Amino acid sequence: MLRKNAGPEVIRITGARQGLTEDVRGRQRRYVISMSVRTVSVVLAAVLWNVERHVAIVALVLGVLLPYIAVVIANAGRENATSLPTTFVAMPMQPALGAGPVSGTAEAGDAAGASGRVPPPQGHA
């Protein structure tokens, strides 16, 4: 049942994920194995019902719960290869605004001025 590769071992050097067809084939294989175990457990429960009731009940519970578990595992999604390098390159942060003018005096329309202090209120004439 095991296959041997005649050629050299292939080494994965990129961050590419497993192919979609390989992923689907692996999920189908896991699902068929789970359903085969379920079938065996239900048949075992029917055969052992009058012989060994405790084992039959455990096999029946396994036969009832296994389809749910198999569907959840089959629909779990594609692999997440956390050990492989990421292809995301973080860009350096650019400031949203440029630096303001560097002058010692505040302009007429600038309430805070260049120093950051608010000028005292003007007297009424």
Q: Per-residue pLDDT tens for 20-72?
A: 888 888 888 988 998 999 999 999 999 999 999 999 999 999 999 998 988 88
Task: Write the single-letter amino acid at 87.
Answer: T
The whole domain housing 55 covers 20-74
Whether 4 is covered by a domain: the verdict is: no
Buried b / exposed e over 26-39, threshold 16 CB at 10 Å, is ebeeebeebeeebe
Number of structural domains (the chain) is 1
> What is the model's pLDDT at position 3?
56
Whether 9 is covered by a domain: the verdict is: no
Whether 50 is covered by a domain: the verdict is: yes
Whether 111 is covered by a domain: the verdict is: no
Question: Average pLDDT, whole number, for the chain?
Answer: 75
Q: Do the Cβ atoms of 104 and 114 come closer than 8 Å?
A: yes
Whether 109 is covered by a domain: the verdict is: no
Q: What is the mean pLDDT of residues 98-110?
A: 61
Q: How confident is the model at residue 105 (pLDDT cuts 50, 70, 90)?
A: low
Chain centre distance of CA 23: 15
Whether 87 is covered by a domain: the verdict is: no
Whether 55 is covered by a domain: the verdict is: yes
